[in-house]
Structure 1
Amino acid sequence: MTPPIDPRPGTPQPFTPHPRFARFYARFAGPALDRAGIAAHRRRLLAGLSGEVIEIGAGDGLTFPFYPPEVTRLVAVEPEPNLRALARRRSQDVPVPVDLCDARAERLPFPDASFDAAVACLTLCSIADPHAALVELHRVLRPGGRLRFFEHVQADTRAMRGVQRVLDATVWPRLMGGCHTGRDTRRTITAAGFRLTTVDRFAFPPSRIPLPAGVHVLGTAVRDDDGGRSR
């Protein structure tokens, strides 16, 4: 699915692909996360979903096998062409119907109140404007619709937050496909008009050494009937 060109003011700049990182993620990072036990977290993230669902930053489709059969339609948004091609292959052998969409999370090509639920899985760290993306998810969700999220976030200690700031201002985004280690994603979710209902904060993968991207949150937020927040 390819969306039409959006002529509205404020359209994000054209997406810059990261083909080397996409290949690295598909060949090495994804399998490493599997070995660390990420499947259990993906299963928790998606349990109980039903109806029409949108996932932003779907990558190569690693979440697809975990969607329950009660999901009648999954729209998977992924602007990176290499990852989207891998996701298309994976979508052919999963229990839910998947529509792949070449679009930016910051400007979704769907009408208001189009979906019953939304999913963000390890993607808000690398989206150029996560607030805009969450405002868009708020817009396309139906009133009472739920956002499921699983993201690495700002560290617990002052020392590690300092390390994250240095990494995010220098090499990390360039090496890791735009990823930022220290975003306060929980605050960004609420600033976009969502109400948090459950949040589980934990270290992943388990490690004796603190990792810059080791603190994660997994939870649910609801779209209240307030029309969302402006940018």
Structure 2
Amino acid sequence: MGDTAKANRQEDPTARQRRVWDRMADSYDRQIGFAERRLLGGGREWLGTRAQGRVLEVAIGTGRSLPHYPTDADITGIELSPAMLAVARQRAADLGRPADLREGDAERLPFPEASFDTVVCALSLCTIPDPAAALDEMKRVLVPGGRLLLLDHVGSTWPPVYALQWLVERITMRTAGEHFTRRPLPLVRAAGFRVVETERLKAGLIERVHATKPGPA
């Protein structure tokens, strides 16, 4: 047990995330389905109604947002876990939804500057090892005026729930890189995005963010 814990501490955070999500890929949709129905409150639909043009979904996972994008959107997805990506590709095929789904790291997006009109990230900045670096990359690949759309669980506005999140996080940060009190919105502002709309739901547990990359002065 001690050797396993030591190995986990020494493992590169990105490699750990790949391993964790590869292991969860087959059961992820079953596990997350109930939580999404109870907590997200139409969050993926919210993302889909705001996405437009050339859309990049960062950390697309098993592709649960794919059914909600406009039919005329050009979808690209990037995912760290090959096993999760395989599920997403099958979902796209089942939907008859053309999509360019690639393996890659959110902190080092394999695209040129100004490649996309919309960047989406759903329930993933809570596990990306360096969310500030990921947001910088999202900004880089957006066109000036392009849209950033985020959906994530964050630290609750209700103190008893926040305290429970903090306690659970002591374990999940070490074992799976999962954060429950992390909040992307301050990082979005620090990255230089212009915040258009935000909304917090379910005792502040869920946050939606719509921001834009500033255009030329």
Does residue 152 of structure 2 align to residue 151 of structure 1?
A: yes
1:68-116 deviation digits (Å, cap 9, x = unpaired):
1120x21111111111110010111336421111111001011100000
Matching residue of 1:85: 86
User: Residue 32 of structure 1 corresponds to which residue in structure 2?
Assistant: 34
Read off the aligned partner of 1:50 and give its amino acid letter. Q
Q: CA RMSD in A?
A: 2.4
Greater than 6 Å deviation, 4+ residue runs: none
Q: Find the aligned partners of 2:180 and 2:216 in 1 and give their Cα distance.
A: 31
What per-residue deviation string (whole Å, max 9, x for no partner) do you get for residues 186-231 of structure 1?
111111111111011101xxxxxx7xxx70111300101379xxxx
Q: Structure 1 residue 46 and structure 2 residue 48: aligned? A: yes
- After superposition, the Cα gap between the structure-2 partners of 1:171 and 1:89, relative to the gap in structure 1 and judged at 3 Å, is same
Q: Secondary structure at the match of 2:140?
A: helix
Q: 1:35 offset after TM fit, Å?
A: 4.1
Stretches of structure 1 that go unaligned for 5 or more consecutive residues are 1-11, 204-209
Indicate conservation of the 8 Å contact 2:40/2:206, yes or no: no
Aligned sequence identity (%): 34
Amino acid at match of 1:219: V
The structure-2 alpha-carbon separation of the partners of 1:14 and 1:34, relative to structure 1 and needing over 3 Å to count, comes to: closer
Query: 1:35-184 to 2 correspondence within 5 Å?
Result: 35-36=37-38, 38=40, 40-71=42-73, 73-94=74-95, 96-168=97-169, 170-174=170-174, 177-184=176-183
Q: CA deviation at 1:161?
A: 3.5
SS of the residue 2:15 aligns to? coil
Q: What SS is found at the alignment partner of 1:217?
A: strand
Task: Determine the structure 2 residue equivalent to 1:15.
Answer: 15
- Output the CA distance in 2 between the equivalents of 1:37 and 1:182: 16
Runs of at least 5 residues in structure 2 that lack an aligned partner in the other structure: 1-11
1:220 corresponds to 2:210? yes
Aligned length: 203
Query: CA separation of 1:202/1:14 partners in 2, compared to 1, >3 Å: closer, same or farther?
Result: closer
Q: Is the 2:60–2:78 contact (alpha carbons within 8 Å) kept by the matching residues of 1?
A: yes
